[in-house]
C-alpha cells in the first residue's frame, strides 16, 4: 500500500546518464528523458555538443544551471573519472525555477510600479508647485492694472458727472472692489501654500478689537433683522500678542458667512479660554448661527477652495473664505471643526495658540490723529444710514466703528428707512440722495412729516455723489440740514457729525 502511495507522490527528479568520450550514450536510467543506448547525446540536445569536448579531462566536475531541456528547466552536472566513462546528472528543477521566476517577475513589477508612482508623484508635485507659483505671480500681476482702474475711477468720480454717470462709476468701483478682495484671497492662499505667509506678533487690546467686531457685525445683522452677540469669557486677558488683522480676518469670514446664510434668528460669537500657561493662552472661538445649515455629506468640503455647497444665486461668494480660515488657523497652530444641521444652523469652532504680555503698560500712541479724539461721549449716539451702495456703507461703518461712540442702523432704500424711523429714535440721519426707490429730496420731507413731528428737528445730512445733483441748492427746502460730498475722508464725516453733537 505504502509503495502505491509513494509511487503517486514521489516522481523522479534526477536522471543519471553515462556516455562515452565521443558523446555516445552507454547507459541511462531514463528517469526524465528516454535515451537509446548508442545514441548521440548531442543529438538529444545541442547543449551537450559544447560539453563533450570538456569531458576529455580527468577528474573534473562541471555544473551548469538553468538549462532548458525539452519542456524542463534543469541543472546539469558533468563528472569525469580516471579510467571510467563520464557521468552526466540532470536535475529537474522546473518547479523551483518557475516559482523563482514568478517571484522575480512580481518583484520586478513592484519595483517598476513604485518607480512609476514616484515619477508620477514628482510630476504632480512639480505641476502643483508650478500652479501655485503661477497663481501667486499671476494674481500679483493682476493687482497693478486693477489698482490703476480703481484710482482712475476715483479720479473720474470727482469730475463733473451727471447722476447717471456717477452711478455707473460707482458700479465699476464696486466691481473693482469685489475683484480686489478675490485676488487678495487667492494671494493669501497661495502664499500660505508655498510657505511664504508670515503672521505678525504684536500686543493689542483684545477688548477694543471685540468692540469693533461687535459694532460692524451687529450693524450688519440688524440689516437682516438678526441679533448678533459676543459672549466673552472673562478669564481671557485684555491684552493679547498675535496677529490682530488676521484674527479679525478669521472672524470676518466666519461671521459674514453666519449672517449671510441665516434669514432668521441669531448669530453668536463665543470666546472661551481653553488654557493659560506662562505667557501663553489658547482661546477658542465659536461662531454659531440659526441659519440654513449644511448637509452632513458636504461638511468636509466647506474648507476646500472654490467650494460652495449652496449653489443658489441668493448667496454670492467665491468659496475661498473658509479655505483661508482653515489655512490661517493651521498656520497659527490651531484646529478647526464644523458642526451643522440642515435647517437648524451651523457652528464653526477654532482655537488659536496666542501669547499675552505678563506686564503690559499701554503704549502711548505714536501720533494722535485729529479724528481719534473727536468723540468721547459716554452715551452712544444712534445714527441711521440710508444708503444702498455697499462700499459707502462699509466706509461709514468703519469710520464710526473707530470712534466707539455710535450705534448704527442701515436702511438700503426709502421704504426700509421709513420702517426704521417709525420704530426707532435716531439722533441723526445720514442719507444718500439717490436711492433705488426714491430721491433724498422726496424722502426727507416724508421723515419730517411723520406723526407727532417725531423727526422735526433731527439732523438729516445728505450724502451726494454727483457734483451736479439736481436741485442741490434746494436741500434746505426739503428739510435737509447739510450735504456731504462723496467721496469723503474720515475727518470730514466726523466733523460733519460733530457739528450736530456738541
Q: Where are the alpha helices (DSSP H) in 158-263?
A: 163-193, 206-223, 244-260
Cell 455707473 appears where?
Answer: 168
Q: Which is nearer to ligand ADP, 81 or 315 (CB)?
A: 315
Closest CB to ligand ADP among 309 and 467? 309
Instruction: State which residue, 310 or 355, has the beta carbon closest to ligand ADP.
Output: 310
Closest approach, Cβ 195 to ligand ADP, in A, equals 22
Q: Does 174 bind ligand ADP (CB under 6 A)?
A: no
Residue with grid cell 469710520, as numbered in its chain:
399
All residues at 6 or more sequence positions from 271 whose CB lies less than 8 Å from its CB, including other chains: 210, 230, 231, 232, 233, 236, 283, 284, 285, 286
**How many residues bind to ligand ADP according to rule CB under 6 A?**
22
Does 327 help bind ligand ADP (rule: CB under 6 A)? Answer: no
**Whole-angstrom distance, CA of residue 64 vs CA of residue 255:** 81
Task: Kindly state whether residue 136 participates in binding ligand ADP, applying the rule CB under 6 A.
Answer: no
Instruction: Report the residue number, 91 or 260, with the smaller CB distance to ligand ADP.
Output: 260
In terms of Cβ atoms closer than 10 Å to its own Cβ (0-12, 13-18, 19+), residue 256 is middle
Binding test (CB under 6 A) with ligand ADP, winner from 187, 320, 385, 443? 320
Site for ligand ADP in 50-109 (CB under 6 A): none
Nearer to ligand ADP, 262 or 402 (CB): 262
- Which residue, 85 or 298, has its beta carbon nearer to ligand ADP? 298
- Looking at the Cβ atoms of 87 and 299, the one nearer to ligand ADP is 299
Q: Which of 19, 35, 247, 322 binds ligand ADP (CB under 6 A)?
A: 322
Is residue 388 at the binding interface for ligand ADP, with CB under 6 A as the rule?
no
Of the pair 293, 440, the CB lying nearest ligand ADP is at: 293
According to the binding rule CB under 6 A, does residue 321 interact with ligand ADP? yes
The interface region with ligand ADP, picked from 143-151, 195-203, 308-316, 441-449 by CB under 6 A, is 308-316
Tracing cell 517571484 back to the chain, one arrives at 103
Q: Which is nearer to ligand ADP, 318 or 485 (CB)?
A: 318
Interaction between residue 251 and ligand ADP (CB under 6 A): no
Does 319 sit near ligand ADP (CB under 6 A)? yes
3-state secondary structure at position 220:
helix
Tell me the three state secondary structure of residue 260: helix
Question: In the bound complex, which residue of the shown chain has the CB atom lying closest to ligand ADP?
Answer: 317
* 346 is an interface residue for ligand ADP by CB under 6 A: yes
CB closer to ligand ADP out of 347 and 382:
347
**Residue 309 binds to ligand ADP (criterion: CB under 6 A):** yes
**Other residues' Cβ atoms within 10 Å of the Cβ of residue 170:** 20
Identify which of residues 322 and 395 has a Cβ nearer to ligand ADP in the complex.
322
Kindly list the distances between the CA atom of residue 68 and the CA atoms of 14, 18, 191, 365, in Å, as whole numbers in the listed order: 15, 20, 63, 93
Q: Does 266 bind ligand ADP (CB under 6 A)?
A: no
What is the C-alpha to C-alpha distance for residues 218 and 207, in angstroms, rounded to an integer?
16
What is the distance of C-alpha 228 from the center of its chain? 26
Rounded least distance, CB 419 to ligand ADP, Å? 27
Q: What is the DSSP letter of 194?
A: T
Binds ligand ADP by CB under 6 A, chosen from 292, 383, 405, 408: 292
Region of 132-140, 142-150, 317-325, 357-365 interacting with ligand ADP (CB under 6 A)? 317-325
Please pick, from the candidates 28, 190, 257, 327, the single residue that binds ligand ADP as defined by CB under 6 A: 257
First to last CA, the chain: 123
Cell numbers of 76, please? 546539469
Q: Exactly one of 214, 223, 308, 485 binds ligand ADP (CB under 6 A); which one?
A: 308
**Considering the rule CB under 6 A, would residue 328 count as an interface residue with ligand ADP?**
no
User: What's the rounded Cα separation, in Å, for the pair 323 and 187?
Assistant: 12
184-188, Cβ contacts within 8 angstroms, sequence gap of 24 or more: 185/318, 185/320, 185/321, 185/324, 186/135, 186/139, 186/320, 187/136, 187/139, 187/140, 188/324, 188/327, 188/328
* 323 binds ligand ADP, rule: CB under 6 A: yes
Q: Which of the stretches 87-95, 244-252, 316-324, 425-433 binds ligand ADP when contact is defined by CB under 6 A?
A: 316-324
Q: Which of 57, 45, 47, 69 is nearest to 21 (CA)?
A: 57
Contact predicate 75/66, CB 8 Å: yes
Binding site for ligand ADP (CB under 6 A): 253, 257-258, 261, 289, 291-294, 302, 307-310, 317-323, 346
Amino acid at each position: 500500500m505504502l509503495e502505491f502511495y509513494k509511487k503517486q507522490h514521489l516522481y523522479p527528479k534526477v536522471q543519471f546518464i553515462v556516455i562515452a568520450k565521443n558523446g555516445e550514450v552507454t547507459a541511462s536510467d531514463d528517469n526524465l528523458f528516454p535515451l537509446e543506448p548508442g545514441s548521440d547525446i548531442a543529438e538529444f540536445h545541442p547543449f551537450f555538443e559544447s560539453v563533450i569536448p570538456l569531458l576529455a579531462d580527468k577528474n573534473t566536475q562541471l555544473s551548469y544551471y538553468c538549462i532548458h531541456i525539452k519542456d524542463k528547466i534543469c541543472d546539469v552536472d558533468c563528472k569525469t573519472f580516471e579510467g571510467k566513462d563520464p557521468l552526466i546528472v540532470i536535475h529537474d528543477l522546473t518547479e523551483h525555477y518557475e516559482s523563482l521566476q514568478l517571484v522575480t517577475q512580481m518583484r520586478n513589477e513592484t519595483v517598476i510600479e513604485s518607480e512609476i508612482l514616484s515619477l508620477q508623484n514628482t510630476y504632480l508635485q512639480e505641476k502643483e508647485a508650478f500652479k501655485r507659483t503661477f497663481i501667486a505671480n499671476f494674481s500679483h500681476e493682476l493687482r497693478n492694472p486693477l489698482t490703476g482702474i480703481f484710482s482712475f475711477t476715483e479720479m473720474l468720480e470727482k469730475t463733473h458727472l451727471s447722476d447717471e454717470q456717477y452711478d455707473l462709476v460707482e458700479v465699476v468701483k464696486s466691481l473693482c472692489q469685489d475683484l480686489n478682495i478675490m485676488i487678495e484671497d487667492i494671494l493669501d492662499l497661495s502664499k500660505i501654500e508655498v510657505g511664504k505667509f508670515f503672521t505678525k506678533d504684536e500686543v493689542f487690546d483684545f477688548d477694543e478689537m471685540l468692540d469693533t467686531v461687535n459694532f460692524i457685525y451687529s450693524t450688519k445683522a440688524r440689516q437682516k433683522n438678526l441679533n448678533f452677540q459676543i459672549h466673552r469669557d472673562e478669564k481671557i486677558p485684555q491684552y493679547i500678542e498675535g496677529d490682530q488683522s488676521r484674527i479679525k480676518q478669521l472672524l470676518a469670514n466666519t461671521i459674514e458667512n453666519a449672517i449671510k446664510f441665516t434669514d432668521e434668528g441669531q448669530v453668536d460669537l463665543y470666546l472661551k479660554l481653553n488654557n493659560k500657561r506662562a505667557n501663553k493662552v489658547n482661546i477658542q472661538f465659536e461662531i454659531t448661527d440659526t441659519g440654513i445649515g449644511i448637509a452632513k455629506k458636504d461638511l468636509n468640503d466647506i474648507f476646500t477652495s472654490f467650494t460652495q455647497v449652496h449653489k443658489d444665486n441668493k448667496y454670492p461668494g467665491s468659496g475661498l473664505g473658509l479655505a483661508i480660515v482653515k489655512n490661517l488657523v493651521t498656520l497659527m497652530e490651531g484646529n478647526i471643526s464644523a458642526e451643522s444641521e440642515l435647517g437648524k444652523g451651523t457652528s464653526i469652532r477654532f482655537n488659536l495658540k496666542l501669547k499675552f504680555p505678563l506686564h503690559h503698560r499701554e503704549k502711548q500712541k505714536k501720533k494722535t490723529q485729529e479724528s481719534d479724539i473727536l468723540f468721547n461721549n459716554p452715551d452712544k449716539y444712534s445714527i441711521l444710514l440710508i444708503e444702498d451702495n455697499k462700499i459707502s456703507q462699509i466706509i461709514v461703518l468703519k469710520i464710526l466703528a473707530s470712534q466707539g461712540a455710535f450705534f448704527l442702523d442701515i436702511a438700503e432704500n426709502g421704504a426700509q428707512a421709513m420702517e426704521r424711523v417709525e420704530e426707532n429714535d435716531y439722533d441723526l440721519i445720514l442719507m444718500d440722495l439717490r436711492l433705488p426707490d426714491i430721491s433724498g429730496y422726496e424722502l426727507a420731507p416724508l421723515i419730517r412729516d411723520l406723526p407727532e413731528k417725531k423727526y422735526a428737528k433731527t439732523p438729516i445730512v445728505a450724502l451726494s455723489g454727483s457734483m451736479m445733483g439736481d436741485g442741490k441748492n434746494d436741500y434746505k427746502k426739503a428739510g435737509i440740514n447739510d450735504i456731504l460730498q462723496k467721496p469723503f475722508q474720515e475727518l470730514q464725516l466726523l466733523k460733519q457729525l460733530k457739528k450736530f453733537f456738541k
